[in-house]
């Protein structure tokens, strides 16, 4: 491994302003990306190897090149298929039928556009988002950002533990209790470390296998259930929800919160570093951006289809049915409904799909945690230590609920975790928009005016939707003490988000907000006047 470099040396070699806390004070003082040799001293990619890109000089599009770039987008798409998303899908189908499929489609498209920004940052600069944050933000905001993203990663890992525990419980026909399933997920650590030894492409192929398992499992359920295709297409392409009320509105907001996950932005910006791209060659960088966007589009299209399968199955099985109908068939909890209505094979295949979702999400979550820790803190841990830390924090509260409560309470915990991750979204979306819009960082690949405006609008919409989701959840708790605590936390939360927005606007060139620069300019003017006198 390359020797570590102290943060001060990194800042001095990378920044055009020698005070890191002022690096975002004006558009001209945003630090530019370093050369590959400089940045590799302090940070390395997550693999020792890099995938070689074949040369096809005379072709506008090459399937050989697309194949070489294929991998990071599919690993990124795992976050769109984790147990939290599956839970959101089945709740959407049960509560709203096919009526919210257009929300799922829209959320996936927004997610693709945001992932495009993440991939471009990694390709153009050779640094992932956490590394850029390390160089551009002052120490205190950087630490707060790191803690917020770590919370999102731990929350996601808890959802994966819940999903695996429920899947193992179903596969064993109840012989493995929920708490036993939670403990078994500890073995994910050793499975992950074992697979990691076999190289980059083999690991990417394994993720592809898990996605295939999910597609076949949930696709089998879809074919078995035979949902109404007309209603499905109408729900997907007609942005309207007839007869919907507060329950369906909350579910629509929950879909957006489950699909767009904060740590996934950090993950994707790092995954693209695994390809051998000469960043000094503008043509190669442009080509890499193109192929990564195509690959991400294909990967998210497949993840969208899998999510549609889940929504359709539970819309057909649950929507419009009363509690009496469900209880009469002994179909509680919801996962068991497949066995009640469509046979035991459907139940087991469903559980296999959930297990694949949990296993794959565990591994990508571990990488996210490793990138975030390395980038924000310039601290490199072994993967074993990183997995052990994240999984230990995730297992403890989940195990307590699994021992003393039941699957319904685990589902309630999943709702809380979705809220937790929704709150962390601004801490990924605002930085990625800030840095990809800065010419000093992205050079010729900085966002144009259209992308700046579109990115700002998308970020505002997604953050507003998720804040609404949080407000709805908090008001449902019916506790004055929790209301007061939430209000106090909200003040601190909004102040920090406002700080990030201020930095973003200043870096985009809104000079009227650049108070520090104006103060420094006034001080320099006064000094110059004194010297002249």
Residue 396 exposed, middle or buried by CB count within 10 Å (0-12, 13-18, 19+): exposed
Share of the chain above pLDDT 70, in %: 77
Residue 266: which H helix or E strand, with range?
helix 262-271
Q: What is the mean pLDDT of the chain?
A: 78
Give the pLDDT of residue 412.
66
Task: Round to whole Å and give the CA distance between 135 and 435.
Answer: 11
Lowest mean pLDDT among 5-14, 322-331, 403-412, 426-435: 5-14
- Does residue 46 surpass a pLDDT of 60? no
User: Quick one: pLDDT band at residue 34, thresholds 50, 70, 90?
Assistant: very low
Give the pLDDT of residue 519.
53
- Does residue 26 surpass a pLDDT of 50? no
Nearest Cα residue to 162 out of 514, 401, 326, 332: 401
Query: At how many degrees (to 10) do helices 344-377 and 188-196 cross?
Result: 70
Sign of the CA dihedral running 300, 301, 303, 308: positive
Give the pLDDT of residue 112.
94
Three-class secondary structure of residue 35 per DSSP: coil
Give the pLDDT of residue 106.
92
Residues in contact with 233: Cβ distance below 8 Å, sequence separation at least 6, in sequence order: none
Mean pLDDT across the stretch 244-262?
81
Mean pLDDT across the stretch 210-237?
90
Task: Round to whole Å and give the CA distance between 89 and 199.
Answer: 34
- b/e map of 118-146 (b: 16 or more CB within 10 Å)? bbbbbbbbbbbbbbbbbbbbeeebbebbb
Beta-bridge mates of residue 275: 51
Range with top average pLDDT, 98-102, 170-174, 502-506: 98-102
| Higher-pLDDT residue of 444, 196 | 444
Give the pLDDT of residue 85.
85
Give the pLDDT of residue 38.
40
> What are the helix (H) ranges across 319-343?
323-328, 337-342
Number of neighbouring beta carbons within 10 Å of residue 273: 23
What is the per-residue pLDDT across 288-329, written as a single tens digit (0 to 9) for each? 999 999 999 999 999 999 999 999 988 887 777 655 555 555
| CA distances, 436 to each of 51, 269, 354, 444 (Å) | 25, 11, 35, 11
- Does residue 525 surpass a pLDDT of 60? no
What is the per-residue pLDDT across 484-512, written as a single tens digit (0 to 9) for each? 888 888 888 889 999 999 888 887 777 77
What backbone phi and psi angles, to 5 degrees, belong to 228? Answer: -70, 115
Three-class secondary structure of residue 150 per DSSP: helix
- Does residue 47 surpass a pLDDT of 80? no
- Does residue 378 surpass a pLDDT of 90? no
pTM for this predicted structure = 0.82
Written as six digits, the tokens of 203 are 């690991």
Three-class secondary structure of residue 206 per DSSP: helix
- Does residue 35 surpass a pLDDT of 60? no
User: Quick one: pLDDT band at residue 385, thresholds 50, 70, 90?
Assistant: confident
Mean pLDDT across the stretch 125-154?
90
């Amino acid at each position: 491994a390359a020797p570590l470099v102290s943060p001060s040396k990194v800042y001095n070699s990378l920044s055009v302003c020698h005070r890191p806390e002022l690096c975002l004070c004006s558009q001209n003082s945003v630090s530019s990306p370093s050369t590959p040799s400089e940045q590799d001293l302090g940070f390395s990619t997550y693999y020792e190897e890099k995938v070689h890109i074949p040369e096809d000089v005379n072709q506008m599009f090459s399937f050989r090149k697309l194949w070489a770039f294929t991998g990071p987008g599919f690993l990124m798409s795992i976050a769109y298929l984790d147990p939290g998303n599956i839970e959101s899908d089945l709740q959407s189908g049960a509560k709203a039928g096919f009526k919210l499929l257009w929300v799922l489609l829209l959320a996936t498209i927004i997610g693709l556009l945001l992932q495009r920004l993440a991939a471009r940052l990694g390709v153009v600069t050779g640094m992932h988002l956490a590394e850029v944050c390390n160089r551009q933000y002052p120490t205190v905001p950087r630490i707060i950002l790191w803690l917020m993203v770590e919370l999102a990663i731990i929350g996601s890992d808890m959802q994966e533990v819940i999903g695996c525990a429920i899947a193992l419980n179903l596969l064993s026909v109840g012989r493995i209790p929920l708490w036993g399933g939670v403990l078994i997920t500890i073995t994910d650590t050793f499975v992950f470390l074992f697979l990691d030894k076999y190289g980059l492409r083999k690991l990417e192929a394994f993720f592809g296998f898990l996605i295939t398992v999910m597609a076949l499992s949930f696709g089998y359920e879809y074919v078995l259930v035979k949902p109404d295709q007309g209603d499905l297409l109408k729900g997907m392409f007609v942005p309207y929800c007839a007869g919907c009320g507060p329950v369906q509105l909350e579910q629509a907001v929950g879909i957006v919160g489950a699909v767009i996950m904060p740590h996934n932005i950090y993950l994707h910006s790092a995954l693209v570093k695994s390809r051998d791209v000469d960043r000094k060659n503008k043509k190669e960088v442009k080509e890499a951006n193109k192929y990564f966007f195509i690959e991400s589009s294909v990967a998210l299209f497949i993840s969208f289809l899998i999510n549609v399968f889940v929504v359709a199955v539970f819309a057909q099985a649950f929507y419009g049915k009363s509690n009496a109908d469900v209880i009469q068939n002994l179909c509680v909890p919801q996962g068991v409904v497949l066995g009640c209505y469509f046979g035991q094979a459907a139940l087991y295949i469903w559980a296999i799909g959930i297990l694949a979702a949990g296993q794959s999400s565990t591994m990508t979550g571990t990488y996210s945690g490793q990138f975030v820790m390395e980038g924000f803190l310039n601290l490199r841990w072994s993967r074993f230590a990183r997995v052990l830390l994240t999984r230990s924090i995730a297992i403890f509260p989940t195990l307590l609920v699994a021992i003393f409560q039941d699957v319904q309470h685990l589902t309630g915990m999943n709702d809380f975790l979705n809220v937790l991750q929704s709150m962390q979204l601004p801490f990924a979306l605002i930085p990625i928009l800030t840095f990809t819009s800065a010419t000093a960082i992205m050079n010729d690949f900085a966002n144009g005016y259209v992308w700046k405006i579109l990115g700002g609008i998308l970020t505002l919409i997604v953050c507003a939707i998720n804040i609404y989701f949080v407000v709805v959840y908090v008001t449902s708790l019916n506790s004055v003490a929790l209301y007061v605590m939430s209000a106090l936390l909200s003040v601190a939360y909004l102040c920090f988000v406002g700080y990030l927005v201020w930095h973003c606007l200043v870096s985009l060139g809104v000079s009227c907000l650049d108070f520090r620069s104006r103060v420094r300019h006034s001080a320099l003017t006064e000094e110059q006047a004194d010297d002249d006198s």
